[in-house]
C-alpha cells in the first residue's frame, strides 16, 4: 500500500521515525512529506534511511511531474504525525501553502491525524472547533494521550505512541475478515505471591498479546482479552469494543480462560504463565531477621492452562499457543517448538527466542509459526503490531 506520512514541526517529530518504521515493517511503501519546521527536529537522512524513499518538503520541486498533486493522488493512506495546532488549523481551513497541505487536498485517501501540542493549545476553543470540523469530514484522530509534554508540563497533548498510530492507520484501510468471530486472547505474565510484598514472576510486558487483541478488534473480531500484570501504558489506545479482564496469578488466569473459552472460536494464549507457585504463602512479610542467611522455597506445579484448553476444545475451535525459548540454535529451537506443539495439542504454536536483552519489553519481535505437526508455516520479523497481523493471517 502507498502510504504518505506527513511530519510537522513539533518536538514529537522524533517519534514519527518509529511511525514510518512501523509502516515499512508492515510491508508498505512509505513516502515522507515533511514541513520545513519538521526537518529542524529530525534529519532528512534519518527519514530517508527508515522510509527507504526520498523525503519531500519543497512545494516548488518536481514541478515537471506535478509532484504537489501527484503524491496525494497516489496515496492510499495519509498519516500526519505529529500534527501541530497550526497544521490542524490549516487543514480545517483548506489551506495549502506547503507541500503537505497540497498533498492532503489532492488526495481522496483516508486521513489519520495524531495531534501533539501543549494542553492549553489542545483545549483552546479554536483547536477544539478545528478538530470538530475535520472529524465531520471523516478525518480520524489518534490521541492525543495524557502524559509528559515538553519541559515540566504534563497533561493532554502528548502524541500517541507509534504502534498505536500505525494500528489505527492500518485499521482505517484494513480488512474486516474477523467480523462476528469470537476471540479469546491472553496477555502479560502471571505472578505467584510469596508474601503480601513479594512474588515470583516473569518479564513479559504483555505487548504482543495486546497487539494481537488490537489487530483482531480492528479486523472486526469480538475480542475478550485477559491480562495479567501488564507494563504501564500497554493497554493505551485499545478499542473500547475489547472486553478486558484483569487477573494476576496462574490459577486466576486458568479460571477466567476456561470460562471464556466456551464461546470462543479462536483462542490465542500469548500470556507467559508461571509454571510453579510457592507451596505456601506467608501471611506477613518474610523477614531476613527471622530467616537468617538463607531462605528455602518449596514450589509446586501450576495447572497447564493451554493443555486444559486443548483437551476441552469444542468443534471448530482453533487454539494458538506461544513458546518463549532461550535456545540460540535455530534448528534446536524448531525441535523444541515442534515437541511443544505436539505435547500441548495446539493448532499453531508461535515460537520466539527470548533472553536477557531480547524480546521482553521490546516493541519488536521475531517469530516462527508452527502448525500442529511442527511444520514451519510462517516467519515474521518486525513490530509486535505487524507480527500480530501476520499471526492472524496464518490462522485465517
In the chain the domains, ranked by start, together with CATH numbers, are: 2-172 (3.40.50.1950), 182-395 (3.40.50.10300)
Q: What is the per-residue pLDDT for 7?
A: 97
What are the helix (H) ranges across the chain? 13-25, 44-51, 67-74, 85-93, 99-105, 119-123, 125-136, 162-172, 207-218, 250-261, 288-291, 305-311, 330-344, 384-395
Q: Residue 32: name the closest of 283, 90, 42 by CA.
A: 42
Q: What is the per-residue pLDDT for 51?
A: 93
- Within 10 Å of residue 365's Cβ, how many Cβ atoms? 23
Q: What is the per-residue pLDDT for 67?
A: 78
Q: What is the per-residue pLDDT for 58?
A: 87
Q: What is the per-residue pLDDT for 359?
A: 65
Q: How far is CA 27 from CA 23, 74, 329, 383, in A?
A: 7, 17, 27, 11
CA distance 98 to 41: 18
Bridge-based pairing state of the strands 154-158 and 199-200: unpaired
**For residue 70, what are the contacts with CB-CB under 8 A and spacing of at least 6?**
62, 106
Cα angle, residue 175 at apex, residues 140 and 186 outer, rounded to 5°: 90
- Intervals of the chain under pLDDT 50: none
Q: Which three cell numbers stand for residue 286?
A: 518474610
Predicted TM-score of the model (pTM): 0.66
Report whether 266 contacts 183 (CB < 8 A): yes
Bridge-based pairing state of the strands 192-193 and 199-200: antiparallel
Q: Residue 239: name the closest of 190, 320, 178 by CA.
A: 178
Q: Residue 217: name the closest of 188, 268, 251, 182 by CA.
A: 182
Q: Which of 18, 102, 202, 352 is catalytic?
A: 202
Q: What is the per-residue pLDDT for 322?
A: 97
pLDDT in tens, 202-212: 989 999 999 99
Sign of the CA dihedral 383, 386, 392, 393? negative
CA distance 351 to 188: 16
86 as an active site residue: the answer is: no
pLDDT in tens, 147-202: 777 777 777 888 998 888 988 887 777 778 898 999 999 999 999 999 999 999 99
Q: What is the per-residue pLDDT for 331?
A: 94
CA distance 261 to 249: 18
Amino acid at each position: 500500500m502507498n502510504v504518505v506520512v506527513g511530519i510537522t514541526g513539533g518536538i514529537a517529530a522524533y517519534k514519527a521515525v518509529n511511525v514510518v518504521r512501523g509502516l515499512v515493517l508492515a510491508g508498505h511503501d512509505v513516502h515522507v512529506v515533511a514541513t520545513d519546521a519538521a526537518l529542524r527536529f529530525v534529519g532528512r537522512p534519518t527519514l530517508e534511511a527508515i522510509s527507504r524513499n526520498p523525503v519531500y518538503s519543497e512545494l516548488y520541486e518536481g514541478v515537471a511531474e506535478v509532484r504537489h498533486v501527484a503524491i496525494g493522488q497516489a496515496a492510499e493512506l495519509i498519516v500526519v504525525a505529529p500534527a501541530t495546532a497550526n497544521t490542524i488549523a490549516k487543514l480545517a481551513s483548506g489551506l495549502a501553502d506547503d507541500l503537505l497541505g497540497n498533498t492532503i487536498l489532492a488526495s481522496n485517501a483516508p486521513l489519520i491525524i495524531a495531534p501533539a501540542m501543549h494542553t492549553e493549545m489542545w483545549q483552546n476553543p479554536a483547536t477544539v472547533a478545528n478538530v470538530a470540523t475535520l472529524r465531520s469530514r471523516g478525518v480520524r484522530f489518534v490521541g492525543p494521550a495524557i502524559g509528559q509534554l515538553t519541559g515540566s508540563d504534563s497533561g493532554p497533548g502528548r502524541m500517541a505512541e507509534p504502534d498505536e498510530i500505525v494500528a489505527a492507520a492500518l485499521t482505517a484501510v484494513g480488512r474486516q475478515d474477523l467480523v462476528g468471530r469470537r476471540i479469546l486472547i491472553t496477555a502479560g505474565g502471571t505472578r505467584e505471591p510469596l508474601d503480601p510484598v513479594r512474588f515470583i514472576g516473569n518479564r513479559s510486558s504483555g505487548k504482543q498479546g495486546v497487539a494481537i487483541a488490537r489487530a483482531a478488534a480492528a479486523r472486526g473480531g469480538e475480542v475478550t482479552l485477559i491480562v495479567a500484570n501488564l507494563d504501564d501504558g500497554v493497554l493505551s489506545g485499545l478499542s473500547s469494543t475489547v472486553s478486558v479482564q484483569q487477573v494476576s496469578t496462574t490459577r486466576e488466569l486458568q479460571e477466567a480462560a476456561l470460562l471464556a473459552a466456551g464461546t470462543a472460536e479462536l483462542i490465542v494464549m500469548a500470556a507467559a504463565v508461571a509454571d510453579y507457585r510457592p507451596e505456601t504463602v506467608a501471611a506477613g512479610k518474610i523477614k531476613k531477621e527471622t530467616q537468617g542467611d538463607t531462605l528455602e522455597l518449596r514450589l509446586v506445579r501450576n495447572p497447564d492452562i493451554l493443555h486444559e484448553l486443548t483437551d476441552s476444545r469444542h468443534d471448530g475451535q482453533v487454539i494458538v499457543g506461544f513458546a518463549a525459548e532461550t535456545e540460540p540454535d535455530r534448528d534446536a529451537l524448531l525441535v523444541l517448538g515442534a515437541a511443544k506443539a505436539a505435547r500441548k495439542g495446539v493448532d499453531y504454536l508461535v515460537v520466539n527466542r527470548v533472553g536477557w536483552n531480547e524480546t521482553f519489553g521490546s516493541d519488536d519481535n521475531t517469530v516462527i509459526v508452527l502448525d500442529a505437526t511442527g511444520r514451519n508455516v510462517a516467519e515474521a520479523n518486525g513490530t509486535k503490531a505487524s507480527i500480530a497481523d501476520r499471526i492472524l493471517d496464518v490462522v485465517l
